[in-house]
Structure 1
Amino acid sequence: ACDAGSTEGCNNLGEMYYYGEGVEQDYVKAAGLFKKACDAGSTEGCYNLGEMYYYGKGVEQDYVKAVGLFEKACDAGSAKGCYNLGEMYYYGKGVEQDYVKAAGLFEKACDAGIAKGCNNLGRMYYDGEGVEEDYVKAAVFFKKACDAGSAKGCYLYKSLIYMKIVDSLLN
């Protein structure tokens, strides 16, 4: 399928080499196939190649290249791409640290159902990083994470609610 020009075929074959499913695991081949898929317009191929550059699997680790690939994936509608790009901006990996950009990207990911994006955005509202400190918004995003299946989101949501109830009783 890949040789016939199928972008998803190239991406799927890349995943087979990445995970060693039906073929011997080979990160270099996987990276080459993800690049071919990405160059041909596969959002998932760009995301996967970004992961390869982030972790340095099959390619030399390069955060700047990872950022470009996650950005390409995010712009094409990949929620995972937006989440990873948000992480890059949050921690300043391959880009200058920018909490405002990170918050926007985490919100995009959260809106698409990525629980970690909701957790991170909730934490940013709790700490006032890149957004104005707002415990109500923090609770809303922790609850969204919880509803998306995140045990951490449930814990943070319940902890925040409990903490605010106790705080209001003591003051």
Structure 2
Amino acid sequence: MLKHLAAALFVLVSLSTPALAGTNEGISAYQSGNYGAALHELLLAADAGDPMAQTVLGFMYVNGEGVPQDNALALKWFGLAAPQGNVDAQHNLAYMYDTGLGVPRNVLEAVKWYKLAAAQGRADSQFNLANIYQTGESGVPRDELEAAKWYMLAAQQGDVEAEFSLGALYFDGRGVARNEAEAVKWFTLAAHEHHAEAQYNLGVAYNTGRGVPADNVEAARWFRMAAEQGYAAAQANLGLLYDHGQGVPQDDEQAVKWYALAADQGEPYAQNSLGLMYKAGYGVPQDDVIAYKWLNLAAQQGHAGATKALASLAERMTPEKIEQARKLTSEWRRK
């Protein structure tokens, strides 16, 4: 359920750290896009040991702003600024070690620098650190208690991915005591920030009555929000609600619409449901060939109901029609 997405890397969080005079001029030039003047001023200050100048130079080299893009030089400047306590440099140095950008990947070194930035309250460092503990990587044992701690700190600062991830831990009882109401709280915060998977999980919670009273009207509302962002499982579930008239008026055409969107993304439940709609002619003209195509695709993903429906459908089809349907299946899989 968790999504392990690295937070945005090369964006300055703060320029308020005390700096040498040349650094201030260099930062002003950098912010105005005058990279030549910025480079001149910042190099002088960086060579004099100013951590903010070193950090901004790191950004310039990693992003190729006024200089050739050079990860090794970015690493050099972040590496000089980070031990002096610059939180941006600490986070970005950690990220480079975490992802192997300009340096051999070293998760232990990444954790060291993420922890320093996280201790200064940097939310994306807290989130990335939590991800490492959640999965366990290269010398860092999996520790869901530690993951929950860092997700909580990032979530309390409004980090949307952390809000979602913390909700997932509460929903499943991993690293924290299972608490579905608490999960819904964090999913709701992320969902209001347009996080599609959080919206989907809220739909599931309202549909099943987990952490909230069961309410299919509310489930449909959240499934729709996620479905409109292209989230396949939400599209399939919204189709199901229309199919059965739960939380929305029963509407075969709407059911087909949402099943089709999810099915075209490879969602097996939706492929099976869409195949059944074509088989029966609900919401679409009855078409055994199209029905066979979608049921076949679902069956190939291990959907047991689709396998049974496919067998019964084949009994009423000619060999020519079956061959035509199999050709459509192959064409879909190649696209």
- Shorter-chain TM-score bucket reads over 0.9
Matched, 1:123 2:235: no
Instruction: Determine the C-alpha separation between the residues in 2 that align with 1:5 and 1:147.
Output: 42
Please state whether the residue corresponding to 1:103 is helix, strand or coil. Answer: helix
Instruction: Determine the C-alpha separation between the residues in 2 that align with 1:8 and 1:135.
Output: 44
Aligned to 1:169: none
Aligned to 1:21: 137
Q: Residue type of the partner of 2:176?
A: V
Aligned to 1:75: 192
Of residues 122, 142, 153 in structure 2, which corresponds to 1:6?
Answer: 122
User: After superposition, what is the alpha-carbon deviation per residue over 1:78-119, rounded to whole angstroms, capped at 9, x for unaligned?
Assistant: 101100011110001111110001001001111111110001
Q: Residue type of the partner of 2:209?
A: G
Please state whether the residue corresponding to 1:125 is helix, strand or coil. Answer: helix
Cα deviation for residue 162 of structure 1 reads 1.6
Aligned to 1:109: 226
Structure 1: 5+ residue stretches without partners = 167-171
Q: Could you list the runs of 4 or more consecutive aligned residues of structure 1 that deviate by over 6 angstroms after TM superposition? A: none
Distance 1:73 1:127, change over 3 A: same
Of residues 190, 202, 205 in structure 2, which corresponds to 1:88?
Answer: 205
Instruction: Determine the C-alpha separation between the residues in 2 that align with 1:121 and 1:19.
Output: 31
Instruction: Determine the C-alpha separation between the residues in 2 that align with 1:78 and 1:21.
Output: 26
User: After superposition, what is the alpha-carbon deviation per residue over 1:45-96, rounded to whole angstroms, capped at 9, x for unaligned?
Assistant: 0000000000101100001100000000000111011000111100011111
Cα deviation for residue 126 of structure 1 reads 0.4
Aligned to 2:169: 52
Q: Residue type of the partner of 1:25?
A: R
Structure number with greater Rg is 2
- For normalisation by structure 2, the TM-score amounts to 0.48
Instruction: Determine the C-alpha separation between the residues in 1 that align with 2:252 and 2:124.
Output: 42
Matched, 1:43 2:160: yes
Instruction: Determine the C-alpha separation between the residues in 1 that align with 2:203 and 2:275.
Output: 25
Identity %: 31
Structure 2: 5+ residue stretches without partners = 1-90, 92-117, 288-335
Count of residues paired in the alignment: 166
Instruction: Determine the C-alpha separation between the residues in 2 that align with 1:21 and 1:161.
Output: 46
Q: Residue type of the partner of 2:235?
A: C
Relative contact order (alpha carbons < 8 A, sep ≥ 6): 1 or 2 greater? 1
Matched, 1:135 2:252: yes
Instruction: Determine the C-alpha separation between the residues in 2 that align with 1:83 and 1:10.
Output: 25
Cα deviation for residue 147 of structure 1 reads 2.2
Q: Residue type of the partner of 2:270?
A: G
Query: Superposition RMSD on alpha carbons, in Å?
Result: 1.2
Instruction: Determine the C-alpha separation between the residues in 2 that align with 1:96 and 1:129.
Output: 15
Aligned to 2:58: none
Please state whether the residue corresponding to 1:93 is helix, strand or coil. Answer: coil
Of residues 143, 158, 162 in structure 1, which corresponds to 2:279?
Answer: 162
- For normalisation by structure 1, the TM-score amounts to 0.93
Cα deviation for residue 6 of structure 1 reads 2.5
Cα deviation for residue 155 of structure 1 reads 2.2
